[in-house]
Chain A
Amino acid sequence: MKKVTRRDFLKLAGVLASASVINVDLFAEAFRKEKNALETSVEYFKSTCKMCVNFCGINVKTENGVLRAIYPDEARRDYYNIGNCPKGISGIWNTYNPYRVKVPLKRRNPNKGINEDPQWEEISWEEALKEVAGRIAQIKSDDPRKIIWYHGHGKYLLHDGWMKAFASAIGTPNVVHRTTVCEGAKHVADEITWGYHEFLPDLEYTNYLKNMGGNYAEADQWARWLDHATLDAKERGMKLVVVEPRLSNIGAKADEWVPIRPGKDVLFLLAMARVLIDEGYIDKNFLITYTNAPYLIKGDGTLAKDNSGNPLVWDIDINGPVPYDNATNIALEGSFNDTVYANGEVKTAFQVFKDYLTTENISPEAVAEECGLSAEQIRRIAIEFGQSASIGSTINLDGKTLRYRPVAIYTFRGLVAKEYGTQTWRAGLIVMMLVGALDAVGGVLLHEPGKSSEYMNPSSCEYPPSRIDLKKSAFFPHATHDVAQQALFTVPEPSKYGINYTPEMQIFFATNRPFSTSKAELQLEGLKNTYNVAIEISMSETAWFADIVLPDKTYLEAYGYYGGRWVPHARHHTLHYPIVNTYNIPYQNIEILVELAKRAGFLTGSGGFLDKINAEYKFSNPNLDINKTDYTAEQLMDVLWRNKTGQSIDEGKKKGFGGEKFVTVDERYLKGVEAKFKGAGKAKIHFYCDELVGTKNVLLTKLNNVKEVFKEWYEVTDGELNSLIETKLSPLPRKDHAYPVSYRKSTNYPYYLITFKRMYRNQSGYCNINPVLNQVAHDADTNHIWINPETANALSIKDGDAVIIESRVGELEGIAKLTEGIRPDTVAVSYHYGQWSGGYPDWAKKGTWINKILEYHPDMLSGMNSFNDTKVIIRKKQGGEE
């Protein structure tokens, strides 16, 4: 054979350019001649992906019963996803995976630790179920609160009603989900403001979208709708401004990236508010008609009320205070003296806010340096936002005249996973209230506003806490979502938190929670002295600390339900069901619960598991037979599916979704704040969260019970406690909220550390053992320490160097990635790498376990974990350094 170099070849290219076109399909011909070709039976299954929490439609292809590929379900395009992400497509490889747990395992080594070999012994299902059920029965008869149930992703595999019913049948209040390690503070800000949670930009009409911390081109809830809908809106002409310290992949699509300093979003938003007020971009009608901005506030921060307890406003026509419902010409601004109801000096809530901005000198110029941005940029964005809001305009859709405010702010974990996450997002909501963008066409559409009005009341600050995660207690008064990261800190020392029982058993269903929160190693301490059970598909770090591991089926092998992600124009329910059973595992998750309940004696009868399921879901047509002892997952899911969609499970399996509908203009724009908050006789959106003042007053009466923990969490002295509570429970966001504990105390740690999600992982579970997810990108199997080249140069760090990253919690090693896509004073690390479980191969254990060195100062309001507040030192690893 003649040697041909690339250069020779290119010289010859012209000579050889006459290559003939081959018209014969050689391969098809070869295939036809293949005498030994086997009959191939190809089938497609319309189902739902559960590789993350988007619940995308998938079309699963099998060949002769073998999983062959996963494609998007075309029928789901109109309702949610138009394609799939690499997690969804690679789901095959979590099902076909030799590193799965295939049989029940029992721990033989009583010592639990990262470096302890559990000495697993394979046992029969009967032995495993009998042992676990025996433990449950024993503790249940003693004190059922001592059993703690955890589900993270398990909630999304099945829907959490099943698990809540299981815990209720046991009698424990301790069911712990993961929201506070993702976006819990966002939910709580929404709830104390407008009575429920979740919102989406109305992207079909939005003209200006400011995204502050949503990472939805990578991995967020709603990512697979927000991504394509945002790009469609951009093509329509929408401006996308992304405010974040690290250039995320959605930031990469932005018209403008605004690299704000970590934790300073509240200053940016307050400065925006100042500009909007000063420049007159205020929707006075919205503020007066829908919010409590005109309510009169007394000097102590509480609402001024009449003798019947009705909130007062100042009526301009009579120049006096009247109950809101009786007023004819309501003042939005002003300071007054209420002599009628003896409330004394009062101001409208709007005036309180405006005065705060003025007296604290909050403006773009004043906050620019702290935000690490130019004043011109902040001011310009505020004015663009105000102008784009088209305040006062309406649009006619489907014969209805609707408020038209085509501006929106979106957020997620990046902004709220902080000590002041709730208050920071409150500032975002206030900015949108100022221009009237809530539930307006093109604005932000709220999910069932006013649904849970109790969220807008003061907390009772429960003490002693009933739950191990301290949810809704005096420690986290408005934590309406489970405080996932706190539970394992409480378990080893419950009395410290006023808990009057000692946990004995912890059950983890599809969650690797301890691995993926602040002070992660300390989290694991909470697993050492309890009897632990893990229901998992692989040997996670949490499972490594289990006494019994029960194998689960994957979503391609099992039934599962979840309400589909709602979008502005549509609703649906989602279903998945068994397509294969790779390792002949006899039970799926819900069936394990049934088997445990049966053996522990609480499956049937009044108050039993089945009865509790009926109650939890309010099943009506049909109900579960509470005396039936052999329900399968299919039968259980059939009852759920019929109640949710009116269809049988067999119908559901044909499409993988059901109960779908497109919402009308009426439902989309007139059933939310228009119905719940508009005008007289209705509650009002909380521009001013007076319930937090109420909560503060309750909490102060219980401060002695919680002060030692607060002193530890927030590093304050006794003398600083009252001021701390005042700041935490402020009815309006303040500039203090830009200064979390770690920023104030880590004076010798110059760099801000933020953490983020990547496309190739879902939290910290199971994706690391998926080989396709590890190989789809050159760096998908590991994480890096993102450092700006200017910073790296000053520290003599080169791309790919081993570096040491150190916080007040500890230090660890990582690999530097130099990128212009991060602020010079900030480093960023994705938080779901660095696994170490002995059940994983080496290729699944790469990267830096950054959660080990994250500081823990939870958001007092919501319980949100402080993922993005830590400060660190970075240095190049020296030769010989361990």
Chain B
Amino acid sequence: MRLGRFIDTERCIGCRACVAACMNENFYIPGNPWIFVIEEEIGKFPYVKRRFVPMNCMHCDEPACKKACDYVGAFAISKNEQGVVIIDYEKCMGCRYCVTSCPYGVLQYIEELNTLFSEKTPYDEIPYENRHPVHRKKINTVEKCTFCWHRIEKAVKDGKTSEIGVNPEYTPACDIVCPVGARVFGDLDDPNSEVSKRILSKSAKRIKKHFGTKPKIYYTIVEGGE
């Protein structure tokens, strides 16, 4: 299984529902979004287009961040058998070489464990021991998108990996909230998965492929890809 995503920029309306969903889902630290949306304006008035490109960790087959991390000897970044790249906060030393090595600029350094308000809410008071390890964030570590590993992991535990990308419970939060169906998640190794079919039918491309990291998020109509 090699999990990946298709983002249809022809459908994306730039609403940032994916960003907001990620913030709720993954205990967002202000200033450290795991998803952001690039707005791109193309052309000159009156022949102008605007395009929205949601960005998050590409969960590369050959992740540059992991290589950097391994090189410095921290070994905090792993890629599991579902192809999900995850940072272990317990091992991360905060050197940030991964941040500088990522061609996509999607890793975030945790300088402070700030919350949305200076006053803690019941959400903020959810104890660490009740949070999934990917949500037990630490100062002086690096964080990023996990493809909502806590949801994928549940599919693995429940023996329902075939429902990843189909059943909302086993699908990343950003994908299930999209109001226009611009995001599809699933197994890239399965030619019959919806994500594989959409990538094929839309001739979707990956961004910055020339860095050689083999990213696993595919976009429509983005120049400079494959």
Q: Answer whether residue B116 sits at the interface, using C-beta atoms and an 8 A cutoff.
A: yes
Known: A86-B16, A98-B119. A9 touches B68 (CB 8 A): yes
Taking a contact as CB atoms under 8 Å apart, the answer to whether B123 and A68 are in contact is: yes
Interchain CA distance A614-B209 in the complex, whole Å: 66
CB B112 to nearest CB in A, in angstroms, measures 15
Interchain CA distance A12-B67 in the complex, whole Å: 9
Q: Answer whether residue B192 sits at the interface, using C-beta atoms and an 8 A cutoff.
A: no
Which residue of A4, A27, A582 is within 8 Å of B71 (Cβ)? A4
Known: A13-B67, A253-B13. A74 touches B177 (CB 8 A): no
Which residue of B19, B67, B73, B177 is within 8 Å of A9 (Cβ)? B67
Known: A259-B46, A775-B33. A1 touches B181 (CB 8 A): no
Interchain CA distance A4-B13 in the complex, whole Å: 39
Taking a contact as CB atoms under 8 Å apart, the answer to whether A777 and B129 are in contact is: no
Taking a contact as CB atoms under 8 Å apart, the answer to whether A776 and B23 are in contact is: yes
Taking a contact as CB atoms under 8 Å apart, the answer to whether A227 and B95 are in contact is: no
CB A387 to nearest CB in B, in angstroms, measures 23
Instruction: Produce 1/0 per residue, B46-84, CB < 8 A to A.
Output: 101111100000000011101110111100001111000
Question: Which residue of chain B is the closest to A72 with respect to CB atoms?
Answer: B177
Taking a contact as CB atoms under 8 Å apart, the answer to whether A38 and B20 are in contact is: no
Known: A69-B173, A227-B13, A772-B23. A27 touches B129 (CB 8 A): no
Complex interface: chain B residues within 8 A of A851 (CB): none
Q: Answer whether residue A21 sits at the interface, using C-beta atoms and an 8 A cutoff.
A: yes
CB B213 to nearest CB in A, in angstroms, measures 8
Known: A30-B133, A776-B19. A71 touches B168 (CB 8 A): yes
Known: A86-B17, A771-B30. A19 touches B70 (CB 8 A): yes
Question: Which residue of chain A is the closest to B72 with respect to CB atoms?
Answer: A1
Complex interface: chain A residues within 8 A of B79 (CB): 19, 21-22
Which residues of A72-89 are within 8 A (CB) of B? Answer: 72, 74, 81-86, 88-89
- Which candidate, A146-154, A448-456, A603-611, A817-825, is the interface stretch facing chain B? A817-825
Which residue of B30, B73, B78, B176 is within 8 Å of A72 (Cβ)? B176
Taking a contact as CB atoms under 8 Å apart, the answer to whether A83 and B176 are in contact is: yes
Taking a contact as CB atoms under 8 Å apart, the answer to whether B15 and A86 are in contact is: yes
Instruction: Produce 1/0 per residue, B136-179, CB < 8 A to A.
Output: 00000000000001000100110000000000100001001111
Number of interface residues of B (CB under 8 A): 80
Q: Answer whether residue A90 sits at the interface, using C-beta atoms and an 8 A cutoff.
A: yes
Q: Answer whether residue B110 sits at the interface, using C-beta atoms and an 8 A cutoff.
A: no
Instruction: Produce 1/0 per residue, B22-46, CB < 8 A to A.
Output: 0111001010010011000101111
Q: Answer whether residue B134 sits at the interface, using C-beta atoms and an 8 A cutoff.
A: yes
Interchain CA distance A97-B11 in the complex, whole Å: 33
Q: Answer whether residue B224 sits at the interface, using C-beta atoms and an 8 A cutoff.
A: no
Taking a contact as CB atoms under 8 Å apart, the answer to whether A249 and B13 are in contact is: yes
Question: Which residue of chain B is the closest to A258 with respect to CB atoms?
Answer: B46
Which residue of A34, A67, A822, A824 is within 8 Å of B123 (Cβ)? A67
Instruction: Produce 1/0 per residue, A34-56, CB < 8 A to B.
Output: 10111010000000000000000
Q: Answer whether residue A2 sits at the interface, using C-beta atoms and an 8 A cutoff.
A: yes
Taking a contact as CB atoms under 8 Å apart, the answer to whether B78 and A26 are in contact is: yes
Q: Answer whether residue A247 sits at the interface, using C-beta atoms and an 8 A cutoff.
A: yes
Taking a contact as CB atoms under 8 Å apart, the answer to whether B130 and A37 are in contact is: yes
CB B63 to nearest CB in A, in angstroms, measures 7
Interchain CA distance A165-B155 in the complex, whole Å: 51
Instruction: Produce 1/0 per residue, A121-133, CB < 8 A to B.
Output: 0000000000000
Interchain CA distance A790-B180 in the complex, whole Å: 34
Complex interface: chain B residues within 8 A of A368 (CB): none
Question: Which residue of chain A is the closest to B42 with respect to CB atoms?
Answer: A820
Taking a contact as CB atoms under 8 Å apart, the answer to whether A83 and B17 are in contact is: yes
Taking a contact as CB atoms under 8 Å apart, the answer to whether B153 and A28 are in contact is: yes
Q: Answer whether residue A336 sits at the interface, using C-beta atoms and an 8 A cutoff.
A: no
Known: A10-B101, A27-B133, A37-B129. A17 touches B81 (CB 8 A): no
Q: Which of A68, A89, A819 gathers the greatest number of chain B CB atoms within 10 Å?
A: A89
Taking a contact as CB atoms under 8 Å apart, the answer to whether B45 and A824 are in contact is: yes
Taking a contact as CB atoms under 8 Å apart, the answer to whether B23 and A775 are in contact is: yes
Which residue of A21, A84, A88 is within 8 Å of B81 (Cβ)? A21
Taking a contact as CB atoms under 8 Å apart, the answer to whether B50 and A74 are in contact is: no
Which residues of A699-750 are within 8 A (CB) of B? Answer: none
Taking a contact as CB atoms under 8 Å apart, the answer to whether B14 and A249 are in contact is: yes
Complex interface: chain A residues within 8 A of B70 (CB): 16, 19
Instruction: Produce 1/0 per residue, A87-116, CB < 8 A to B.
Output: 011101100111100000000000000000
Taking a contact as CB atoms under 8 Å apart, the answer to whether B180 and A69 are in contact is: no
Taking a contact as CB atoms under 8 Å apart, the answer to whether A66 and B44 are in contact is: no
Which residues of A224-243 are within 8 A (CB) of B? Answer: 224, 227-228, 231
Complex interface: chain B residues within 8 A of A27 (CB): 86, 88, 132-134, 149, 153
Q: Which of A14, A66, A772, A776 gathers the greatest number of chain B CB atoms within 10 Å?
A: A776
Q: Answer whether residue A628 sits at the interface, using C-beta atoms and an 8 A cutoff.
A: no
Q: Answer whether residue A836 sits at the interface, using C-beta atoms and an 8 A cutoff.
A: no
Q: Answer whether residue B222 sits at the interface, using C-beta atoms and an 8 A cutoff.
A: no
CB B13 to nearest CB in A, in angstroms, measures 4
Instruction: Produce 1/0 per residue, A745-780, CB < 8 A to B.
Output: 000000000000001100000000001110111101
Instruction: Produce 1/0 per residue, B73-107, CB < 8 A to A.
Output: 10000111100001010100101010011000000
Taking a contact as CB atoms under 8 Å apart, the answer to whether A71 and B177 are in contact is: yes
Known: A71-B168, A86-B16. A92 touches B24 (CB 8 A): yes
Complex interface: chain A residues within 8 A of B153 (CB): 25, 27-28
Taking a contact as CB atoms under 8 Å apart, the answer to whether B41 and A821 are in contact is: yes
Interchain CA distance A777-B78 in the complex, whole Å: 29
Which residue of B67, B81, B127, B180 is within 8 Å of A19 (Cβ)? B67
Taking a contact as CB atoms under 8 Å apart, the answer to whether A231 and B16 are in contact is: no
Taking a contact as CB atoms under 8 Å apart, the answer to whether A23 and B80 are in contact is: yes
Complex interface: chain A residues within 8 A of B118 (CB): 98
Which residue of A97, A252, A582 is within 8 Å of B51 (Cβ)? A252
Taking a contact as CB atoms under 8 Å apart, the answer to whether A38 and B129 are in contact is: yes
Complex interface: chain A residues within 8 A of B16 (CB): 86, 759-760, 776-777, 780
Interchain CA distance A34-B130 in the complex, whole Å: 10
Q: Answer whether residue A662 sits at the interface, using C-beta atoms and an 8 A cutoff.
A: no
Interchain CA distance A548-B207 in the complex, whole Å: 56
Which residue of A9, A84, A250 is within 8 Å of B101 (Cβ)? A9
Taking a contact as CB atoms under 8 Å apart, the answer to whether A25 and B80 are in contact is: yes
CB B166 to nearest CB in A, in angstroms, measures 11
Interchain CA distance A36-B129 in the complex, whole Å: 6
Question: Which residue of chain A is the closest to B119 with respect to CB atoms?
Answer: A98
Q: Answer whether residue A617 sits at the interface, using C-beta atoms and an 8 A cutoff.
A: no
Taking a contact as CB atoms under 8 Å apart, the answer to whether B126 and A66 are in contact is: yes
Taking a contact as CB atoms under 8 Å apart, the answer to whether B130 and A38 are in contact is: yes
Q: Answer whether residue B225 sits at the interface, using C-beta atoms and an 8 A cutoff.
A: no
Question: Which residue of chain B is the closest to A822 with respect to CB atoms?
Answer: B45
Taking a contact as CB atoms under 8 Å apart, the answer to whether B50 and A252 are in contact is: yes
Q: Answer whether residue A63 sits at the interface, using C-beta atoms and an 8 A cutoff.
A: yes
Interchain CA distance A84-B24 in the complex, whole Å: 13
Taking a contact as CB atoms under 8 Å apart, the answer to whether B177 and A247 are in contact is: no
Interchain CA distance A21-B61 in the complex, whole Å: 10
Complex interface: chain B residues within 8 A of A6 (CB): 100-101
Q: Given A4-B71, A90-B20, A227-B179, list of 15 further CB < 8 A pairs?
A: A1-B95, A4-B72, A13-B67, A16-B67, A19-B70, A23-B81, A28-B157, A34-B129, A66-B122, A83-B179, A92-B24, A98-B119, A775-B30, A776-B33, A821-B50
Which A-B residue pairs are the 9 nearest by beta carbons?
A83-B179, A96-B121, A27-B133, A22-B78, A86-B20, A252-B50, A776-B16, A217-B13, A771-B116
List 7 A–B pairs whose Cβ atoms lie within 8 Å, in order of A's numbering. Answer: A1-B95, A22-B80, A23-B81, A38-B127, A83-B179, A92-B24, A259-B46
